[in-house]
């Protein structure tokens, strides 16, 4: 089975209650230092490879693989030597 289209990914994300879908394209070797989001993330790698490190564990994601993060989790991210493209579905955290 191949990758879903962006439209299929978005439709699945919305059915799962996620609010927004974005495409991210990173240059080869790009890194992002430690940060956290105020929203939940579910992402699918569609080109290249990337690494996500959270809670002392590094997840190496290649084409067709997914990663997820809960809101507020400190993490770092980086693209492989060919860069990376991935689709990100986000779920906003309800205000208290």
- Dump the DSSP string for 28-92: TT-EEEEE--SEEEEEEEEEEEEEEEETTEEEEEETT-EEEE-TT--EEEEEEEEEEEEEEEEEE
What's the average model confidence in pLDDT over 74-85?
A: 97
CATH for the 6-92 domain, from 3.50.50.60, 2.60.120.10, 3.40.718.10, 2.40.30.10: 2.60.120.10
Task: Say what the pTM is.
Answer: 0.89
Which is higher by pLDDT, 14 or 95? 14
- Tell me phi and psi for residue 28, to 5 degrees: -55, 130
What's the average model confidence in pLDDT over 29-52?
A: 95
Question: What does DSSP assign to residue 6?
Answer: H
| pLDDT confidence band for 46 (50 / 70 / 90) | very high
| pLDDT confidence band for 93 (50 / 70 / 90) | low
CA distance 29 to 27: 6
Is the CB of residue 48 less than 8 Å from the CB of residue 78? no
Can you give the residue ranges of every domain in the chain?
A: 6-92
């Amino acid at each position: 089975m191949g990758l879903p289209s962006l439209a299929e990914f978005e439709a699945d994300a919305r059915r799962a209650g996620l609010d927004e879908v974005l495409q991210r394209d990173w240059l080869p070797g790009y890194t992002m230092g430690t940060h956290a989001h105020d929203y939940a993330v579910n992402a699918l790698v569609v080109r290249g490879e990337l690494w996500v490190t959270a809670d002392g564990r590094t997840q190496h994601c290649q084409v067709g693989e997914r990663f997820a993060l809960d809101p507020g989790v400190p993490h770092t991210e980086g693209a492989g030597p060919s860069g990376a493209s991935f689709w990100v579905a986000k779920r906003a955290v309800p205000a208290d």
